[in-house]
Structure 1
Amino acid sequence: MTELSTLAVQHPLDVAPALHPAKVLRDDAEALAAARDLAAQVRQTAAARDRERQLPWAEIEAFTRSGLGGIAIPRAFGGAQVSFETIAKVFAILSAADPAVGQIPQNQFGILYSLTGSASEAQKKVLFDSVLNGARIGNGGPERGTKNTLDVRTRLTAEGDHYRLNGRKFYSTGALFAHWVAVKAINDDGRQVLVFVPRGTPGLHIIDDWSGFGQRTTASGSVLLENVRVSGEWVIDNWKLALSPNIQGAVSQLIQAAIDAGIAREAIDESIHFVRERSRPWIDANVERASDDPYVIADIGKLKLDLHAAEALLYKAGRVLDDIAAKPIDEQSAARASIVVAQAKVLTTEIALLASEKLFELSGSRATLAEFNLDRHWRNARVHTLHDPVRWKVHAVGAWHLNGTLPARHSWI
């Protein structure tokens, strides 16, 4: 794999990043191997990059060159079309090393999957080919100041043989690193569309104003769209997704859950390492090593049990999605997909928060020193798990099992 130090580290924000060739991975085994190789490199500098808020340009370039960006593209379009279980494992592996490197490409995977039910064959070919050739897709969906997350105020207006796009986005994870920004907008007919804007298009401005205390290097800030000229070929009829049952939301949520699982695993591994190498035993334990303290041992055991349960449910959810996607999807199977992923996300959220907090209780006061930057695990877990409230997932699971109520159909369930 290319050394990270040889890759570009910065780009002007309104200019498209350089496009580098990407390897085309062929199967699940290659995808998992690539993820493990990249994670080993990314982990080495994760703490320093978080401390200094150094954006992971080299790491994202390495992700792209490795071929991981295209592993979900259908085989009919030249991709590996790896299983959803493998996708979950890839994101968990990367997010253990650095959850920012996991979250930045997450939207690309969700967007690519949504194209299967909304884009024309010509649009799919161009965009899938673009990703296989090294392009990245960033998010331009959420907005601040709206009544809820589904409310979109950005407008796409017809103007002769083209369109004009105007609006402002926030939480635009991936946009700063992208070659395409996928923008949700409302067209003249009042329907939601997804507009692919090439980076460098006049009027498209990326603003690095993300100030979250966790996931600090995701650059999940603003996208400003000022009278951006758009060709009709890049307008996707996103509203079509609502016409028939699908698993688009479940696919997106599976990856979000995998990111939290990765955070949890790394926090537990850091706890074990610190207790073994640096912590002192409490005086009442009457042991020579902190790792022999019976209460510490029990807590590590409980954390591992909770982690393994969360991971088992996560990977089971991936297998269920694989099974559902292989057949015609109806309302019941789409609902089952959402519920099984929701169950996994509840557990991955809980263990990510618990493990990153228990790290300090088990490791002791020394673990709070800034030189270790171990608080990044809790900060990352706390911020990322706010993406969508799991209390509503618990409600959806209960309503499904108790009353047979189908969950809502959107990207957050």
Structure 2
Amino acid sequence: MNAPLTNTVALIRSDAEALGVAEALAQVLSPGSAERDRERRLPHSELELFSHSGLWAISVPKAFGGAGVSSITLAKVIARIAQADASLGQIPQNHFYALEVLRINGSEAQQHRLYGEVLAGKRYGNALAELGTKTALDRNTRLSRDGEHYRVNGRKFYATGALYAQRIPTLAVDDEGRGQLAFIPRQAAGLQVIDDWSGFGQRTTGSGSVVLDNVPVDADDVVPFQSAFDRPTTVGPFAQLLHAAIDTGIARAAYEDLLQFVRHKSRPWIDAGIDKASDDPLTQQEIGRLVIRLHASEALLERAGEFVDRAQAAPDEHSVAAASIAVAEARAISTEVSLLVSSKLLELSGSRATLAEFGLDRHWRNARTHTLHDPVRWKYHAIGDYVLNERLPPRRGTI
């Protein structure tokens, strides 16, 4: 770490400031990313620096004291941090997702209180996904009435960020069968966060399990969740936009490392009579193909952010559907380009890429792990159906 930690949380006031802070922070986070991946060293101090920078509060609306940055800016911030360290780019994804649910479905009192916590530096994790359900949309975790308050019982997995959070927004089904999002304090009795994440990529996201054993929840900490999908809202495309940003950041990191490796560290071409790898015509061709696709991914990410911003400003059936499709396009290409560039890095740099000295294989491992979040093949299906038949995509968090 090259910057000191302080007890003061910065307040970012504009989109331009957010982008500038993200760039400065990325410069600090990047140098240790390979070592953190290699040793699976959990980034507690880095996250303190990250949240104290003010970036975790940039989506808080201006009316509640935040910068209220555009979705375009938020996506660019996430992509830049993911370029520096893919795990650190993913950890706040569900934090911002929870804040979007709060913006859309929270009461004014809930917004004042919870946004205030975020402005003060608190981080939100997630406990959404479950194993053993009939479909990925089903939930067994229950939110049951207990007098004027609630109790939560269940088990979650892939709880990215929960290990580092002060609150863990938890998706549970209430007594009427409706999905609710309970913003549970990390230290609540009966709540256990288990560091059992063992993925070969995204190794430090803390995406382990959460066990909830009769956990008490204040009624004021429960925000409606399912209704955000019963009507047209931007919760789904907003979530997917940030996933696209993570993959785009991974692709950019792999590309930059590929350029450095080919320019300065590769030697096999000498035996073929080529002084530098960068003078090899075939390598030049491959780099050209990659950079075109990377630029396309970055452009589609920005375009998708524009669609989400428009839908947030005027949500209806058609604006939200258009945002979902635009984000699906960005998500599809970011999936493919992150895998393509990181794989080409391994191909052109050879076995040296896997050496601890470089750790370049982490980019492919990170891309392969994160792009499995939800199937990209269904995004192509939704896009094609929308274009051919003008059929609106389903409203859910994976499209």
TM-score higher than 0.5: yes
Q: How does 1:96-245 map to 2 (within 5 A)?
A: 96-245=83-232
AA aligned to 1:242 is: F
Deviant stretches of 4+, over 4 Å: 2-7
1:355 to 341, 345, 351: 341
- CA shift for structure 1 position 138: 0.5
- The question of whether the paired residues in 2 share the 8 Å contact of 1:281 and 1:288 is answered with no
- CA deviations on 1:137-170 (whole Å, 9 max, x unpaired) are 0001111111222111001111122211111110
**Structure 1 match to 2:328:** 342
Query: Do the aligned partners of residues 6 and 248 (structure 1) sit closer, same or farther apart at CA in structure 2, a change above 3 Å counting?
Result: closer
Structure 1 residue runs of 5 or longer lacking an equivalent are 8-19
Per-residue deviation, residues 83-142 of structure 1 (Å, max 9, x unmatched): 111111101100000011110001011110111221111111111011001111000111
Aligned mate of 1:57, from 29, 38, 44: 44
Q: Give the C-alpha shift of residue 276 in structure 1.
A: 1.0
Q: 1:78 to 1:35 in 2, by over 3 A?
A: same
Partner of 1:10: none
Query: Secondary structure at 1:205's aligned position in 2?
Result: strand
Counterpart code for 1:352: S
Question: In structure 2, which of residues 289, 294, 312 is the aligned counterpart of residue 307 of structure 1?
Answer: 294
Q: Which SS does the other structure have where 1:100 is aligned?
A: helix
How far apart, CA to CA, are the structure 1 residues paired with 2:134 and 2:270?
55
Q: Contact 1:5–1:58 (CA<8 Å) still a contact in 2?
A: no
Task: Say which SS state the counterpart of residue 152 (structure 1) adopts.
Answer: coil
1:65 CA drift (Å): 0.4
Tell me the residue number matched to 1:14.
none
Residue number in structure 2 paired with 1:322: 309
Aligned to 1:17: none
Aligned to 2:369: 383
Q: Quick one: which of 375, 378, 399 aligns to 2:385?
A: 399
CA distance in 2, matches of 1:53, 1:259: 19
In the alignment, is the contact (CA less than 8 A) between 2:310 and 2:319 conserved in 1? no
Q: Deviations over 1:13-68 (max 9, x none)?
A: xxxxxxx5421100001100110111101101000000000011111111110000
TM-score, normalising length from structure 1?
A: 0.94
> Does the Cα contact within 8 Å between 1:105 and 1:174 map onto a contact in 2?
yes
Matches of 1:274 and 1:256, distance apart in 2: 27
- Determine which of 371, 377, 380 is the counterpart of 2:357: 371
Amino acid at match of 1:377: H
Is residue 45 of structure 1 aligned with residue 35 of structure 2?
Answer: no
Per-residue deviation at 1:80?
A: 0.4
Matches of 1:257 and 1:409, distance apart in 2:
18
8 Å Cα contact 1:317-1:340 kept in structure 2: yes
Letter in 1 for 2:306: R
Within 5 A, what are the aligned runs for 1:272-283? 272-282=259-269
Distance 1:284 1:399 in 2: 52
Q: SS at the partner of 2:274?
A: coil
Pair 1:247-2:231 in alignment: no
Output one character per residue of 1:261-307: Cα deviation in whole Å (capped at 9) or x when no partner.
Answer: 00001101111101111101436753111111110111111100110
SS of residue paired to 1:371: coil
Secondary structure in 2 matching 1:411: coil
Q: Within 2, Cα distance between the matches of 1:164 and 1:376?
A: 41
Where does the alignment leave 5 or more consecutive residues of structure 2 unmatched?
none
Give aligned-pair identity as a percent: 53
Q: TM-score, normalised by structure 2?
A: 0.97
Q: Specify the SS of the correspondent of 2:158.
A: coil
Q: Secondary structure at the match of 1:217?
A: coil
2: CA distance, partners of 1:324 / 1:219: 32
Q: 1:378 to 1:5 in 2, by over 3 A?
A: farther
CA contact (8 A) 2:168 2:185 kept: yes
Report the RMSD for the aligned CA atoms in angstroms: 1.4
CA distance in 2, matches of 1:39, 1:161: 45
